[in-house]
Copies of this chain bind each other. A is one copy, B any other.
């Protein structure tokens, strides 16, 4: 069979590899492509393999299992986060900038935030972000123990918010009108509750319906920073 001449209509020479060879990198890229187009639920080992014109078993030469693939996808996504340079405003501005930037990047990659809640993000980019947060908090003059715990809690808050928002977006499947209609329905439901059993819920129907996702995120971030400020000693942050 090998001595038959290659027919002229065969465009890919038989000796060269027909498909680009598999590697962590090409698998990761394919998986991120599917994440962008179909969300996290579309990212299955079989779907990724199909995207690369091979079978699912082939992926296991490059990743121990699906969780390892997801962890590497998450860290890859965090690579897009831009951390503020030295001297771009005071510590609260810098901390907010990091928080908003992480949230934006996570939400822009479907519901990948779910992975960040399930694993401790210790990849190179996770560490880079953690390092940046610790730096900003220390610079603020917050004591070391509070710095360490605050970075932990802030990461949790950002990731949880991003997951909630991205999941909600996937659920509503698109148009902002549908999401708005859903929330209008919830508020209408609150209004219909018996005021004797739900005096506060019914009294606060107005405020409960106020504010979009971004306003709520900012409010929580602000609470967090107000709380942290109380840990700064009188002479702190100006050294």
Count copies of this chain in the complex. 2
Q: How far is the CA of A73 from the CA of B153 in the complex (A)?
A: 28
The stretch of A49-57, A93-101, A221-229 in contact with B is: A221-229
- A200–B131 touching, CB < 8 Å: yes
Given the interface pairs A152-B216, A163-B117, the reply to whether A127 lies near B222 with Cβ below 8 Å is: no
Cβ contact within 8 Å between A145 and B224: no
List which A155-202 residues lie within 8 A (CB) of chain B.
156-157, 159-161, 163-164, 167, 186, 189, 193, 197-201
7 more A-B residue pairs beyond the given contacts A118-B167, A224-B227, with a C-beta to C-beta distance below 8 A: A117-B167, A134-B201, A138-B200, A146-B219, A148-B207, A150-B219, A159-B160
A228 and B223 contact, CB distance less than 8 A: yes
Chain A residues touching B, majority SS: helix
A18 on interface, CB distance cutoff 8 Å = no
In the complex, how many angstroms separate the beta carbon of A141 from the nearest chain B beta carbon? 14
A135 within 8 A of partner (CB): yes
Would you give 24 A-B contacts (Cβ < 8 Å), ordered by A?
A117-B160, A117-B164, A122-B186, A127-B198, A131-B198, A134-B201, A135-B199, A135-B200, A138-B200, A148-B204, A148-B207, A148-B208, A149-B215, A150-B223, A153-B216, A153-B220, A156-B157, A156-B161, A160-B160, A222-B227, A223-B224, A226-B227, A226-B230, A227-B227
Least distance between A138 CB and chain B CB atoms (Å): 6
Is A120 engaged at the interface, CB distance under 8 Å to the other chain?
A: yes
Give every chain B residue within 8 A of A144 (Cβ-Cβ).
Answer: 203-204, 206-207
Q: A210 at interface (Cβ–Cβ under 8 A)? A: yes
Q: Which residues of B contact A87 (CB under 8 A)?
A: none
